């Protein structure tokens, strides 16, 4: 098993069709004890109950709230005694154009997608540092790389691009402490984040630009997170892993 007895913290993992819960499931199958952090306790508990093995933990944590992140990390350490893996997965999007972005929306999108990564990393890093080991994987997006995905506005692209810079800087800073920090950049993954906005016509249009000929599944991203969380990626830090079916192939 790739994560035997590892303690893994995953934010934004209560959505039944989401990438976070698919990741929690993959991690639990591989022997990890998982802490799910999300906005709604009942949803997080339902998610936890669907996982194999255990014991796992459901906590309410709004990643935009520094205090809640600190408290969650404290509770996890009290419960399990350590933190081996942090998956900064929580995120929200808003499909608007530049001229439609109001200040509140800018703050909201940046707060969850970017500040949340800092908050939760700051909460978990001291424990990882004292252990001399840890792996953090952060959720960015193809939207950061190509200047917009399909559902994210420019503020979402900016936030997810910010995640790449933040993660790379943390990788450089904490490498000497045995802590690795990497990112994933998914293309279009079929989850609830698209709401009901993905019409059949849009889907056909998008598929034309995907060499592998299908949209992504939550499990595709979970597998990349698993690789980054496990010792299979022991010599990889500051890296960005595309999970996009070839939607964007770099030169
Ligand atoms: P999702 O809506 O199922 O998952 C997002 C989760 O984050 C939800 O469970 C939600 O409750 C939680 N969340 C939202 N705000 C939060 C906050 N302030 N604190 C804690 N939790 C919060 O959608 P998903 O597609 O699984 O998204 C997961 C991540 O993947 C997001 O960061 C998203 O931006 C990113 N992403 C998704 C796609 C895609 O096509 N689905 C592509 C690239 C990146």
Q: How many Cβ atoms are within 10 Å of 202's Cβ, its own excluded?
A: 14
Q: What is the mean pLDDT of the chain?
A: 96
Mean pLDDT in residue range 93-111? 97
Tokens of 123: 């909460």
Residue 41 has pLDDT above 90, yes or no: yes
* Closest Cα to atom 31 of ligand 1: 91
Catalytic residue among 80, 156, 225, 235: 156
pLDDT for res 151 = 82
Mean pLDDT in residue range 213-222? 97
Residue 110 has pLDDT above 80, yes or no: yes
Query: Whose structure tokens read 């700051």?
Result: 122
DSSP state string for 23-57: HHHHHHHTT-EEEEEES-HHHHHHHHHTSSSS--E
- Per-residue pLDDT band for 198 (boundaries 50, 70, 90) equals confident
- 14: helix, coil or strand? coil
- CA 12 – CA 39 distance, rounded (Å): 8
* Closest Cα to atom 39 of ligand 1: 189
Higher pLDDT, 53 or 231: 231
Percent with pLDDT over 70 in the chain: 100
pLDDT for res 144 = 98
Strand ranges across the sheet with 85-88 = 57-60, 33-38, 7-11, 85-88, 134-139, 179-186, 240-243
pLDDT for res 193 = 80
pLDDT for res 45 = 97
pLDDT for res 70 = 98
- Counted residue by residue, the chain has a size of 251
What pairing do the DSSP bridges indicate for beta strands 7-11 and 240-243?
unpaired
- CA 65 – CA 237 distance, rounded (Å): 27
pTM for the whole structure: 0.98
Distance from residue 125's CA to the centre of ligand 1 (Å)? 22
pLDDT tens digits, 199-208: 888 899 999 9
Q: How many Cβ atoms are within 10 Å of 81's Cβ, its own excluded?
A: 10
- CA 104 – CA 132 distance, rounded (Å): 39
pLDDT tens digits, 129-152: 999 999 999 999 999 999 997 789
Contacts of 228 (CB under 8 A, 6+ apart): 135, 137, 180, 182, 184, 236, 241
Ligand 1: residues with CB < 6 A are 11-12, 14-15, 18-20, 38-39, 61-64, 89-93, 112, 116, 139, 141, 186, 188-189, 191-193
- 190: helix, coil or strand? coil
pLDDT tens digits, 155-197: 999 999 999 999 999 999 999 999 999 999 999 999 988 777 7
Tokens of 80: 């399990």
pLDDT for res 54 = 84
Q: Which atom of ligand 1 is nearest to the CA of 139?
A: 32
DSSP type of residue 57: E
The answer to whether 156 is a known catalytic residue is yes
């Amino acid at each position: 098993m790739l994560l035997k007895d590892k303690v893994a913290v995953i934010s934004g993992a209560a959505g039944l069709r989401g990438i976070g819960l698919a990741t929690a499931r993959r991690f639990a199958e591989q022997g990890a004890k998982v802490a799910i952090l999300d906005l709604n306790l009942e949803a997080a508990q339902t998610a936890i109950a669907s996982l194999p093995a255990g014991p796992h933990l459901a906590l309410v944590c709004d990643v935009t709230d520094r205090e809640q992140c600190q408290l969650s990390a404290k509770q996890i350490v009290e419960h399990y005694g350590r933190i081996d893996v942090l998956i900064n997965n929580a995120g929200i999007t808003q499909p608007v154009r530049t001229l439609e972005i109001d200040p509140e929306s800018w703050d909201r999108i940046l707060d969850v997608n970017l500040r949340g990564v800092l908050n939760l990393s700051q909460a978990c890093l001291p424990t990882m540092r004292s252990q001399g080991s840890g792996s953090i994987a952060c959720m960015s997006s193809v939207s950061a790389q190509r200047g917009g995905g399909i559902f994210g506005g420019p503020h979402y692209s900016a936030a997810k691009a910010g995640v790449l810079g933040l993660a790379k800087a943390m990788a450089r800073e904490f490498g000497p402490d045995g802590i690795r920090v990497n990112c994933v950049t998914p293309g279009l993954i079929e989850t609830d984040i698209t709401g009901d906005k993905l019409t059949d016509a849009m889907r056909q249009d998008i598929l034309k630009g995907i060499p592998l000929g299908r949209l992504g599944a939550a499990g595709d991203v979970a597998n990349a997170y698993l690789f980054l969380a496990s010792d299979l990626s022991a010599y990889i830090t500051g890296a960005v892993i595309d999970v996009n079916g070839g939607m964007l192939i770099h030169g």
